[in-house]
């Protein structure tokens, strides 16, 4: 491979790395902005419920009618669903670790007998 080809290959890989890094930064910024907007909406709905206006309806950007209390219930259900998913995953990892240990013990025993 000539030095020109090597230089072009290095240049292409650097531009791909910087493009991938740029997308990662953009995704992080958009995710942070979305999370901030969700927290702001939750704070607004908490203020409305505390002021006694929780059953008033509002229209979202997609013209869906909902109440402030309904939004808070939705947020609570989402949090419970995420926590349940995390618990399920932790239990699955624990089961996988136990199965892995059992198989390692069986393999160690068979290796001792064979070896």
Rounded to two decimals, what is the model's pTM?
0.63
Q: What is the pLDDT of residues 19-35, one digit of tens each?
A: 778 888 999 999 999 99
Q: What is the pLDDT of residues 56-114, one digit of tens each?
A: 988 877 788 889 999 999 999 999 999 999 999 999 999 999 999 988 888 877 777 76
Say whether 73 sits in a helix, a strand or coil.
helix
Cα dihedral across residues 87, 93, 96, 100: positive or negative: negative
Gyration radius from the chain CA atoms: 27
User: Assign residue 79 a region: left if phi > 0, alpha if psi is -120 to 50, beta otherwise?
Assistant: alpha
Pair 89, 82: CB distance under 8 Å: no
CA distance 110 to 94: 25
> Backbone phi, then psi, for 66, in 5-degree steps?
-150, 160
CA distance 43 to 99: 45
pLDDT at 13 over 70: no
């Amino acid at each position: 491979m000539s030095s020109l080809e090597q230089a072009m290959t290095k240049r292409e890989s650097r531009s791909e790395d910087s493009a991938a890094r740029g997308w990662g930064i953009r995704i992080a910024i958009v995710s942070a902005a979305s999370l901030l907007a969700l927290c702001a909406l939750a704070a607004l709905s908490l203020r409305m419920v505390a002021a006694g206006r929780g059953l008033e309806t509002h229209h979202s950007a997609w013209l869906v009618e909902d109440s402030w209390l309904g939004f808070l219930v939705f947020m609570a259900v989402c949090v419970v669903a995420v926590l349940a998913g995390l618990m399920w995953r932790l239990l699955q990892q624990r089961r996988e670790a136990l199965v892995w240990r059992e198989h390692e013990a069986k393999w160690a025993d068979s290796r001792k007998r064979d070896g």
